[in-house]
Structure formats: structure tokens, C-alpha cells
Amino acid sequence: MKKNKKDLLSIYDLTPDLIWTLITNAIKLKKSKKSSSKLSGKTLGLIFEKPSTRTMVSFATAMTQEGGTPLILDSQKLQTNRGESIYDTSKVLSRYLDAIVIRAFKHEHVEEFANASSIPVINGLTDLEHPCQILADLMTIVEKYKIKSVKQLSKLKIAFVGDANNVANSWLAVSAVLGLNFLLLGSKKYPPTKEFLNKALDIAKKTNAKIIVSDDINNIINADVIYTDVWTSMGEESQSKARHKAFLPYQVNDELLKKANKNCIVLHCLPAVRGEEITASVMSKQENNIFDQAENRLHIQKSIIVYLLNK
Ligand code: CP
Ligand code: NVA
């Protein structure tokens, strides 16, 4: 984080207290259901190098409901597409906008943008992390289990089943920072990067987080939350056949759920591929949880932009 502005590029930009405040404020905003003029006169830019439904629409709606203006920018139509540097683009957009959400292929490009910018930069998903998603996920778990503190949250067993991707990375990071009980269950062929995992494990030692990375399905026993995401993330389409083969044993289906706690909830960041990482049957039984989770993207985005822009 910089002296005069705050960014949200990674879960590691946040302290446990701040994560808890962002969640509890989002819950308050959800209950109040009121529009406000807190961000009146402010403009939030949104640049997407990859497709998005939830992140784009929830941030744009959050900004509108808080009295500000969202500006969705098609990355194909910006001069960066013709080779203008990230540095120059960041400097110029900082003169017009009050904050910016960026979804990019490369995490280091978002960091480069943030280093040059004088306005808050928010990671709307990169190859490395998806921090805003994980804040909405935590908010959903807090609501569903009526959690009152981080300590109480740490008593739940949360299992991410599938690919060790950007979403899984942010889960590893948040589990380390908050001291959670977290299982990353998936194929040995697609492990988390050593660097990212080691950072989480180092922090976990200080916070007493219990982080287990395993390919043994039996570890799902006693899970309170089962979370999954696509096996093939955006940009990896050429690997989809090999990934399908490797992850098939880790499909979230009725058999897997039988091994978890009776009242275990299933979450999915969406979009979902029914028949791959999750069956249509589990999707249909768990859709209240999953669509509540999607709705919570809106409330948490409000909480994030009000925090970043209103100080
Ligand atoms: N979960 C999520 O980020 O969805 P979108 O790709 O639709 O934004
Ligand atoms: N891991 C997925 C998340 C989509 C929201 C992807 O990067 O495509």
C-alpha cells in the first residue's frame, strides 16, 4: 500500500481487522438496502481484459448505488491495445478517475499500473489472485453460519476442491492471514505454485492457521464448507482435456458431499460448468447458497469502494 492511496491487489494488502470490517460493513449495507450519495461526484473506471459478468456488473451497480459513476472501459479500445505503456495509461487515467478496477491476464501488469497510479487500484481478477471474490465468499460463510468473530470463523473447516488457481490462491492467503482451517484438495498434477504456498504457510505459522494441501479425497471428512471453481480458467482453454482428466476424481457431487458434514454448504464463485467441477444435482440443491454468494459480490464491492474512496 502507498502513502497517499490504498490499493486492493492482493489479500495480503489487508489486515485481519480490515477484512472483518469490510465484511461487517457489507452486511450492514445489505441490510440497509438504501442508496446513498457517499461517492457522489466520483468516477470508478473498470478495465476488463477478460470476460466478466459478476465483477463488472456488481462494481458498476455498487458505484451507482453509492452515488458515483462507473465507467466500463473496453480494453480492446484503449490505446494500450496499440502499445501505449501501462505507465503512461496509469498516469493519465489517474488524472480523470477516482479509482479503477482492473481484470488482467498478468498480475504484474496490475502491480505496474498501481505503482504508477495516484488513485486506488482494485484487482478484479488476475492469474494470481481474486481478492474481492474471497471477501464476498467470507461474507456468505459469516451469514450462513451466523459467525460473530474471526475466532468463530476459524472453527469451521473450509475445503477448496479442484484447481489450485487464482481463487484458490486468494483462499490460501486469506486462510493464512485470518488463521483459518483450510484444505486445498486437488490433483497433484496442478499444485499451487511453491512460492505462493510457502508464503501462506509461513504466515500460517504465526496465525495458527491450519492449511492442508492434499490429493486425498478422504480429507473432506468434517468439512463445513466445500468450495469449487472451474477446472479450466480463462486463458487455459487449450489445456481443458488434460485438466478434465486430472480433476474428474475431484468433482463436487453427491458422493463427495456424503463424506462431509451433514449441513455442509457448497459455494462456487461462478461461472460454473455443470458436469465438470460440480454436478447439476449439487448446483440445484445448493443454488440458494451459491446465488446468495453471487449477490454478496454487490454488497462487498460497495464496502470496498466506500473504504478506498471515502477517506
Ligand atoms: N466470479 C466472478 O468473478 O465472475 P465474473 O467472471 O462473471 O466476474
Ligand atoms: N478461476 C476462474 C475464475 C473466474 C471467476 C478464472 O480465472 O477463469
* Residue pLDDT, tens place only, 230-263: 999 999 999 999 999 999 999 999 999 999 999 9
At residue 3, the pLDDT reads 52
> Whose CA is closest to atom 7 on ligand 1?
53
Ligand 2 centre distance from Cα of residue 230 (Å): 7
Q: Is residue 173 a contact partner of residue 129, using CB atoms and an 8 Å limit?
A: yes
Among 3-12, 39-48, 301-310, where is mean pLDDT lowest? Answer: 3-12
**Probe target for ligand 2 pocket from 101, 234, 297, with the most ligand atoms within 8 Å of CB:** 234
C-alpha 308/C-alpha 300 separation (Å) is: 12
CB atoms within 10 A of CB 201: 14
Please, are residues 217 and 250 in contact by the beta-carbon 8 Å criterion? yes
Predicted confidence band of residue 310 (pLDDT cuts 50, 70, 90): confident
| Ligand number with the minimum distance to the CA of 53 | 1
pLDDT of the residue at 25: 98
**How far away, in angstroms, is 206 Cα from ligand 1 center?**
32
pLDDT value of residue 33? 77
Q: 234 CA to middle of ligand 2, Å?
A: 6
Q: What is the pLDDT of residue 35?
A: 87
pTM for this one?
A: 0.97
Q: Which residue ranges form the domains of the chain, and what is each CATH number?
A: 11-129+297-309 (3.40.50.1370), 133-294 (3.40.50.1370)
52 CA distance to ligand 1 centroid (A)?
5
Of the listed ligands, the closest to the CA of 170 is 2
Any residues with CB less than 8 A from the CB of 292 and at least 6 apart, and which?
140, 143, 144
pLDDT of residue 15: 98
Q: Cα(207) to centroid of ligand 1, in Å?
A: 30
Q: What is the pLDDT of residue 2?
A: 44
CA distance 62 to 164: 29
Give pLDDT tens digits for 114-169.
999 999 999 999 999 999 999 999 999 999 999 999 999 999 999 999 999 999 99
pLDDT over 90 for what percent of the chain?
96
Summarize the confidence of residues 259-274 as an average pLDDT.
97
Q: What residue's CA is closest to ligand 2, atom 7?
A: 233
The rounded mean pLDDT for the chain is 97
d(CA 301, CA 22): 9
Q: What is the pLDDT of residue 4?
A: 75
Ligand nearest to the CA of 123: 1
Q: What is the pLDDT of residues 6-45, one digit of tens each?
A: 999 999 999 999 999 999 999 999 999 788 999 999 999 9
113 touches 89 (CB < 8 A): yes
- pLDDT of res. 1: 40
Contact 293 CB / ligand 1 (< 6 Å): no
Per-residue pLDDT of 167-190, as tens digits, reads 999 999 999 999 999 999 999 999
SS3 for 111-154 is HHHHHHCCCCEEECCCCCCCHHHHHHHHHHHHHHCCCCCHHHHC
Which residue, chain included where needed, has cell 479450466?
A: 232
CB of 165 closer than 6 A to ligand 2?
yes
How far is the centre of ligand 1, averaged over its atoms, from the C-alpha of 3 (Å)? 30
